[in-house]
Amino acid sequence: MVKICCIGAGYVGGPTMAVIALNCPSIEVVVVDISVTRISAWNSDQLPIYEPGLNEVVKQCKGRNLFFSTDLEKHVSEADIIFVSVNTPTKTRGLGAGKAADLTYWESAARMIADVSKSNKIVVEKSTVPVKTAEAIERILTHNSKGIKYQILSNPEFLAEGTAIQDLFKPDRVLIGGRETPDGLKAIQALKDVYAHWVPEDRIITTNLWSAELSKLAANAFLAQRISSVNAMSALCEATGADVSQVSHAVGKDSRIGPKFLNASVGFGGSCFQKDILNLVYICECNGLAEVANYWKQVIKVNDYQKNRFVNRVVSSMFNTVSGKKIGIMGFAFKKDTGDTRETPAIDVCKGLLGDKARLSIYDPQVTADQIQRDLTMNKFDWDHPIHLQPMSPTGVKQVSIAWDAYEASKDAHALCILTEWDEFKTLDYRRIFDNMQKPAFVFDGRNVVNVEMLRDIGFIVYSIGKPLDPWLKNMPAVA
C-alpha cells in the first residue's frame, strides 16, 4: 500500500489530503501537524476550517484511509510520498524584510524529514514558495541523506477557499514539476498515478521544477492583477458616472479576456495574493529586473489604494468625522463561504475607521470574536505563523464589539459597511435595519451586493464601489 504523509494540516493540507484519500481508497493518507489543537479539531466533529462540502468528504474516509496525527516522525518515516504544506510567512526582519518568504517552517520540516527517514522518499512542495525553494530543500536533504535518495517535486495547489472541494474534485489542471532525470521522471509518474485516480490525464501537466514553482506565483499575480485593474477602473467610474459592473460585463464578453475575476471590490485579500506578489517582486529585484518588480508592485499599491479610498469615502460622507459613531461592519472574512481572515481587506478598513475613532460592531457568520480581536491587534505579516506563535493581545480593541447578527450590528448605527459578499446580506430586511439606525443612515457596500435603488427608496444614502454616486456623495473628496 502506498503511504502518503502530509506535513501541515491547514487550509491546503487538510482538504487536499481528504480529497486524495476519498478518491484513492488503496492509499493511506496521514496528515500531521505540530499544532495539537489543530489535529484534535480534525479528529473531532468540529473541523478547524469552514469549507463547504469538507465535512462530508472527511466523514467518508476518516479512520478508513485518512488519519490526523501529531506523531510527525513515525508517519514521515513510514511514508513513500511526503507533501509539505506548512506556513511560508513574509519575512519581517533582515534580508528581504516585507517581501521575501520566510522559509523557517519549511526548513525545519525538511530537516525533520532528513532526520527520521530510513527509506527513499518523494518530497512534494505543496505550499507556495519562492522559485528555487525545491533546490534549497534538495540540498538540505541530500547533505543529510545517510544514503537515502530523495526526489523533490513541486505540485502547487490552485484551490480557492470557499470552493476548495469542487476545485479539488475538478481541477482546471494539476501541475507537477520535477527533475528531468530518470529518477525525477519516475517520481513525477508516481505522483501522476495518485491524481490519475480521478483527474483526466490531459489535465495533469508536467514541467521542470522551477516552471512549476513560478507558475503558481504567476497565476496568483495574474488573478490579483485583474482585480486591481477592475478596482482601478472603479475609481474612474465613480469620478465619471460610469457603472463598473456594466464596464466589467462589456469587457468580459471579449472571449480573449473572459468574464471571471472582474468584480470590483473593497480590495482582494486571502493568504496568497499579496504574499505571492511580494515574493515575485523580491525575486525580480534579486535578478536585477527593477521594471518588472515595479510593474507587479503596482498591483498591491492599487489594492491598498482601494481600501484607503473606501475608508475615506465613509469618513468624508459622514461630515468628515466618525469619532464616537457606531458603524456596523457586515462581514470580516476575506470572501464569502470561508471563515478565513488572512489579509482580509476588513482588517485595514476597520483599522482605518478605528484610527478615526469610530466604534465598530462587527458581524460575520463564520469568524470568531477571538479571531477578529487577534486580527485587529496583530502586526502586519504576523498572521502567517502557527497559531501558538502568534502574539495574543491581552486586552483586545475596546472600540470593537462583536455582534451575533446583522440586525444587532446595525442597531443604533450611523452607517453599515459591507466588507464580505455573504449571500445573506442580499436578503436582509433593510427596512427594519433602517428603522433602527441613526439618521441619516448610510450603507457603504464594498462588495456590490445590495440593491442600490431599493435601499435609496427606503431612505439610505448608499455608496457602492464603482457605481454612479449618490447625490449626497458628489463633490465630497474621497481620493486616498
Give 390: exposed, middle or buried? Use CB within 10 Å, 0-12, 13-18, 19+. Answer: middle
- Concerning whether 237 is annotated as a catalytic residue, the answer is no
Q: How far apart are CA 53 and CA 165, in angstroms?
A: 6
DSSP bridge pairs for 176: 206
Residues from 321 through 340 that contact ligand UDX (CB under 6 A): 334-335
Handedness of CA 226, 228, 234, 237 (dihedral sign): negative
| Comparison of 218 and 369: residue with beta carbon closer to ligand UDX | 218
**Strands 174-178, 66-69: parallel, antiparallel or unpaired by DSSP?**
unpaired
Q: Minimum CB separation from ligand UDX for residue 261, in Å? A: 4
Is 164 a binding residue for ligand ADP by CB under 6 A? The answer is no
Binding map of ligand ADP across residues 343-382, x = CB under 6 A, - = no contact:
----------------------------------------
Residues from 44 through 73 that contact ligand ADP (CB under 6 A): 72
| Comparison of 113 and 214: residue with beta carbon closer to ligand UDX | 214
In three state form, how does the secondary structure of 29-98 look? EEEECCCHHHHHHHHCCCCCCCCCCHHHHHHHHECCCEEEECCHHHHHHHCCEEEECCCCCECCCCCCCC
| Comparison of 53 and 459: residue with beta carbon closer to ligand ADP | 53
Q: Minimum CB separation from ligand UDX for residue 414, in Å? A: 26
Residues from 156 through 175 that contact ligand UDX (CB under 6 A): 157-161
Output the nine-digit C-alpha cell for 443.
450603507
Is 274 a binding residue for ligand ADP by CB under 6 A? The answer is no
Give 323: exposed, middle or buried? Use CB within 10 Å, 0-12, 13-18, 19+. Answer: exposed
Is 227 a binding residue for ligand UDX by CB under 6 A? The answer is yes
Catalytic residue among 6, 272, 284, 417: 272
User: Which of 386, 396, 440, 468 is the binder for ligand ADP (CB under 6 A)?
Assistant: 386
**Which of these, 140, 111, 109, lies nearest to 127 by C-alpha position?**
109
When CB distances to ligand UDX are compared, the closest residue is 270
Is 12 a binding residue for ligand ADP by CB under 6 A? The answer is yes
Q: How far apart are CA 298 and CA 358, in angstroms?
A: 30
**Which of these, 87, 80, 225, 219, lies nearest to 160 by C-alpha position?**
219
Q: Is the separation of the CB atoms in 85 and 13 below 8 Å? A: yes
Half-sphere exposure of 458 (CA within 13 A, CB side): 22
Q: How far from 54 is each of 160, 453, 458, CA to CA, in Å?
A: 13, 38, 40
Is 76 a binding residue for ligand UDX by CB under 6 A? The answer is no
| Comparison of 8 and 269: residue with beta carbon closer to ligand ADP | 8
Stretch that binds ligand UDX, among 13-21, 257-265, 316-324, 462-470 (CB under 6 A): 257-265
Q: Minimum CB separation from ligand ADP for residue 218, in Å? A: 18
Cell 427594519 sits on residue: 432
Binding map of ligand UDX across residues 196-225, x = CB under 6 A, - = no contact:
------------------------x--x--
215 binds, among ligand UDX, ligand ADP, none (CB under 5 to 8 A by kind): none
Q: How far apart are CA 273 and CA 133, in angstroms?
A: 19
| Comparison of 32 and 449: residue with beta carbon closer to ligand ADP | 32
| Bond from prior residue into 440 cis (ω within 30 degrees of 0) | yes
DSSP, collapsed to helix, strand or coil, labels residue 121 as strand
Q: Is 33 labeled as ligand-binding?
A: yes
Q: Which active-site residues does the annotation give?
A: 272
Q: Which residues define the annotated binding site for NAD(+)? A: 8-13, 33, 38, 86-90, 127-128, 161, 272-275, 342
Q: Which residues bind ligand UDX (CB under 6 A)?
A: 157-161, 220, 223, 227, 261-263, 265, 268-270, 272-273, 334-335
Q: Which residues define the annotated binding site? A: 8-13, 33, 38, 86-90, 127-128, 161, 272-275, 342
